[in-house]
Structure 1
Amino acid sequence: MSHTTPDTLSQLEAGGQTYHYYSLPKAAEALGDIERLPMTLKVLLENQLRFADDESVAIEDMQALVDWQREGRSSREIGYRPARVLMQDFTGVPGVVDLASMRAAVASLGEDPARINPLSPVDLVIDHSVMVDKFGNPTAFRDNVAIEMERNRERYEFLRWGQDAFDNFRVVPPGTGICHQVNLEYLGKTVWTKDVDGKTLAYPDTLVGTDSHTTMINGLGILGWGVGGIEAEAAMLGQPVSMLIPEVIGFKLTGKLREGITATDLVLTVTEMLRKKGVVGKFVEFYGDGLDDLPLADRATIANMAPEYGATCGFFPVDAETLNYMRLTGRDDAQIALVEAYSKTQGLWREPGAEPIFSDTLHLDMGEVEASLAGPKRPQDRVALTDMKRTFEALMGDRLNEVSNTEKGRLFSEGGQTAVGIEQSYENADSQDVDYEGEQFTLDHGAVVIAAITSCTNTSNPSVMMAAGLLARKAREKGLSTKPWVKTSLAPGSKVVTDYLAAGGVQEDLDALGFHLVGYGCTTCIGNSGPLPETIEKAVDEGDLTVASVLSGNRNFEGRVHPQVKTNWLASPPLVVAYALAGNVRRDLSKEPLGEDADGNPVYLQDIWPSQAEIAAAVEKVKTEMFRKEYAEVFDGDDVWKAIDVPQSEVYEWPESTYIQHPPFFEGMGKTPEPTEDVKDAHILAMLGDSVTTDHISPAGAIKPDSPAGRYLQEHGVKPVDFNSYGSRRGNHEVMMRGTFANVRIRNEMLDDVEGGFTRHVPSGEQLAIYDAAMKYQQEGTPLVVVAGKEYGSGSSRDWAAKGTRLLGVRAVLAESYERIHRSNLIGMGVVPLQFPEGEGRESLGLTGDETISIEGLGELSPGCPVKVTISSDKGEKKLEALCRIDTANELAYYQHGGILHYVLRKMIGSA
Structure 2
Amino acid sequence: MSLDSFKCRKQLTVNGKTYTYYSLPDAEKNGLAGVSKLPYSMKVLLENLLRHEDGRSVTKADIEAVSAWLDNKGKAEKEIGFRPARVLMQDFTGVPAVVDLAAMRDGMEALGGDPNKINPLVPVDLVIDHSVIVDEFGSAKAFDRNVELEYERNMERYNFLKWGQGAFANFRVVPPGTGICHQVNTEYLAQTVWTRRDTDGSMLAYPDTVVGTDSHTTMVNGLAVLGWGVGGIEAEAAMLGQPQSMLLPEVIGFELTGKVNEGVTATDLVLTVTQMLRKKGVVSKFVEFFGPGLDTLSLADRATIANMGPEYGATCGFFPCDAETVKYLTMTGREKDRIALVDAYCKAQGLFREKGAPAPVFTDTLSLDLTTVLPSMAGPKRPEGRVALTDVAAGFATALAGEYKKAGDEGRKAPVEGKNFSISHGDVVIAAITSCTNTSNPSVLIAAGLLARNALAKGLTTKPWVKTSLAPGSQVVAEYLEKAGLQKDLDGLGFNLVGFGCTTCIGNSGPLPAEISKAINDNGMIAAAVLSGNRNFEGRVSPDVQANYLASPPLVVAYALAGSVTKDLSKEPLGEGSDGKPVYLRDIWPTTHDIQDYIAKYVTRELFETKYADVFKGDKRWQGVKTTTGLTYAWNSGSTYVQNPPYFKGITKTPVPVTDVKGARILALFGDKITTDHISPAGSIKAASPAGGYLLERQVRPADFNQYGTRRGNHEVMMRGTFANIRIKNFAVKDDAGATPEGGYAIHYPSREKMFIYDAAMRYEQENVPLVVFAGVEYGNGSSRDWAAKGTALLGVKAVIAQSFERIHRSNLVGMGIVPFVFEEGTSWQTLGLKGDELVDIPGLTSIKPRQKVVAKVTRADGSSFDLPLICRIDTLDEIEYFKNGGILHYVLRQLAA
Q: TM-score, normalised by structure 2?
A: 0.98
Aligned counterpart in structure 2 of residue 440 of structure 1, from 420, 428, 448? 420
Task: Please state how far the C-alpha of 1:4 moved relative to its aligned partner.
Answer: 7.3
Aligned counterpart in structure 1 of residue 612 of structure 2, from 605, 626, 631? 631
Aligned counterpart in structure 2 of residue 652 of structure 1, from 633, 658, 663? 633
Amino acid at match of 1:833: P
- Residues 14/773 of structure 1: CA separation in 2 closer, same or farther (3 Å cut): same
Aligned counterpart in structure 1 of residue 151 of structure 2, from 142, 145, 149? 149
| Aligned twin of 2:773 | 786
Any conservation in 2 of the 1:84–1:206 contact (CA below 8 Å)? yes
Deviations 1:379-403 (A, max 9, x none): 0010110000000001111xxxxxx
Partner-residue secondary structure (3-state), 2:646: coil
Identity %: 62
Partner-residue secondary structure (3-state), 2:647: coil
| 1:671 corresponds to 2:653 | yes
Any conservation in 2 of the 1:246–1:283 contact (CA below 8 Å)? yes
| Aligned twin of 2:736 | none
Task: Please state how far the C-alpha of 1:71 moved relative to its aligned partner.
Answer: 2.7
Partner-residue secondary structure (3-state), 1:502: helix
Task: Please state how far the C-alpha of 1:843 moved relative to its aligned partner.
Answer: 1.0
Distance (whole Å) between structure 2 residues aligned to residue 770 and residue 376 of structure 1: 28
Deviations 1:843-897 (A, max 9, x none): 1101111111110010110001001211110341120220000000001110010
Amino acid at match of 1:35: S
Unaligned 5+ residue runs, structure 1? 398-418
Task: Please state how far the C-alpha of 1:762 moved relative to its aligned partner.
Answer: 2.4
Any conservation in 1 of the 2:4–2:51 contact (CA below 8 Å)? no
Distance (whole Å) between structure 2 residues aligned to residue 348 and residue 789 of structure 1: 40
Distance (whole Å) between structure 2 residues aligned to residue 515 and residue 120 of structure 1: 40
Any conservation in 2 of the 1:309–1:380 contact (CA below 8 Å)? yes
Task: Please state how far the C-alpha of 1:504 moved relative to its aligned partner.
Answer: 1.6
Distance (whole Å) between structure 2 residues aligned to residue 428 and residue 866 of structure 1: 51
Amino acid at match of 2:604: K
| Aligned twin of 2:662 | 680
Amino acid at match of 2:722: T
Partner-residue secondary structure (3-state), 2:421: strand
Aligned counterpart in structure 1 of residue 387 of structure 2, from 383, 387, 390? 383
Aligned counterpart in structure 1 of residue 397 of structure 2, from 393, 396, 412? 393
Any conservation in 1 of the 2:112–2:897 contact (CA below 8 Å)? no
Distance (whole Å) between structure 1 residues aligned to residue 500 and residue 349 of structure 2: 38
Task: Please state how far the C-alpha of 1:465 moved relative to its aligned partner.
Answer: 0.2
| 1:476 corresponds to 2:456 | yes
| Aligned twin of 1:302 | 305
Deviations 1:173-215 (A, max 9, x none): 0010000000000000000000122211100000100000000
Distance (whole Å) between structure 2 residues aligned to residue 309 and residue 786 of structure 1: 26
Any conservation in 2 of the 1:257–1:366 contact (CA below 8 Å)? yes
| Aligned twin of 2:22 | 22
Aligned counterpart in structure 1 of residue 253 of structure 2, from 246, 250, 253? 250
Amino acid at match of 1:517: L
Amino acid at match of 1:107: E
Partner-residue secondary structure (3-state), 2:760: helix
Distance (whole Å) between structure 2 residues aligned to residue 589 and residue 468 of structure 1: 16
Distance (whole Å) between structure 2 residues aligned to residue 709 and residue 641 of structure 1: 29
| Aligned twin of 1:536 | 516
Deviations 1:41-79 (A, max 9, x none): 100000000000111101111110011011312321000
Distance (whole Å) between structure 1 residues aligned to residue 683 and residue 833 of structure 2: 34
Deviations 1:782-837 (A, max 9, x none): 11000000000000000000000000010000000000000000000000001111
Any conservation in 1 of the 2:411–2:424 contact (CA below 8 Å)? no
Q: Which portions of structure 1, spanning 4 or more consecutive aligned residues, are displaced by more than 3 angstroms? A: 424-430
Q: Which moved further from structure 2: 26-35 or 692-701?
A: 26-35
Q: Which moved further from structure 2: 191-200 or 791-800?
A: 191-200
| Aligned twin of 1:138 | 140
| Aligned twin of 1:755 | 742
Any conservation in 1 of the 2:383–2:535 contact (CA below 8 Å)? yes
Deviations 1:597-626 (A, max 9, x none): 112100000000001111111111211111
Task: Please state how far the C-alpha of 1:425 moved relative to its aligned partner.
Answer: 8.5
Partner-residue secondary structure (3-state), 1:636: coil
Deviations 1:137-161 (A, max 9, x none): 0010000000000100000000000
Distance (whole Å) between structure 2 residues aligned to residue 878 and residue 582 of structure 1: 58
Amino acid at match of 1:900: I
Distance (whole Å) between structure 1 residues aligned to residue 749 and residue 742 of structure 2: 18
Amino acid at match of 2:310: P
Partner-residue secondary structure (3-state), 1:558: coil
| Aligned twin of 1:881 | 869
Any conservation in 2 of the 1:88–1:124 contact (CA below 8 Å)? yes
| 1:339 corresponds to 2:342 | yes
Distance (whole Å) between structure 2 residues aligned to residue 592 and residue 499 of structure 1: 34
Any conservation in 2 of the 1:15–1:333 contact (CA below 8 Å)? no
Task: Please state how far the C-alpha of 1:899 moved relative to its aligned partner.
Answer: 0.1
Distance (whole Å) between structure 2 residues aligned to residue 424 and residue 618 of structure 1: 45
Q: Which moved further from structure 2: 121-130 or 353-362?
A: 353-362
Partner-residue secondary structure (3-state), 2:287: strand
Aligned counterpart in structure 1 of residue 711 of structure 2, from 708, 720, 729? 729
| Aligned twin of 2:326 | 323
| Aligned twin of 1:272 | 275
Task: Please state how far the C-alpha of 1:753 moved relative to its aligned partner.
Answer: 2.9
- Residues 304/426 of structure 1: CA separation in 2 closer, same or farther (3 Å cut): farther
Aligned counterpart in structure 1 of residue 229 of structure 2, from 223, 226, 230? 226
Deviations 1:67-121 (A, max 9, x none): 1011312321000000000000000000000000000011111111111000000
- The within-5 A match list for 1:86-97 is 86-97=88-99
Distance (whole Å) between structure 2 residues aligned to residue 740 and residue 907 of structure 1: 30
Any conservation in 1 of the 2:745–2:756 contact (CA below 8 Å)? yes
- The within-5 A match list for 1:737-776 is 737-751=719-733, 752-776=739-763
- The within-5 A match list for 1:359-438 is 359-397=363-401, 419-420=402-403, 422-424=404-406, 427=409, 430-435=412-417
Amino acid at match of 1:362: L
Partner-residue secondary structure (3-state), 1:119: coil
Amino acid at match of 1:461: N
Task: Please state how far the C-alpha of 1:33 moved relative to its aligned partner.
Answer: 2.1
- The within-5 A match list for 1:49-60 is 49-60=50-61
Amino acid at match of 1:525: C
Distance (whole Å) between structure 1 residues aligned to residue 560 and residue 625 of structure 2: 39
Any conservation in 2 of the 1:430–1:543 contact (CA below 8 Å)? no
Matched residue pairs, number? Answer: 884
Any conservation in 1 of the 2:410–2:425 contact (CA below 8 Å)? no
Any conservation in 2 of the 1:430–1:544 contact (CA below 8 Å)? no
| Aligned twin of 1:104 | 106
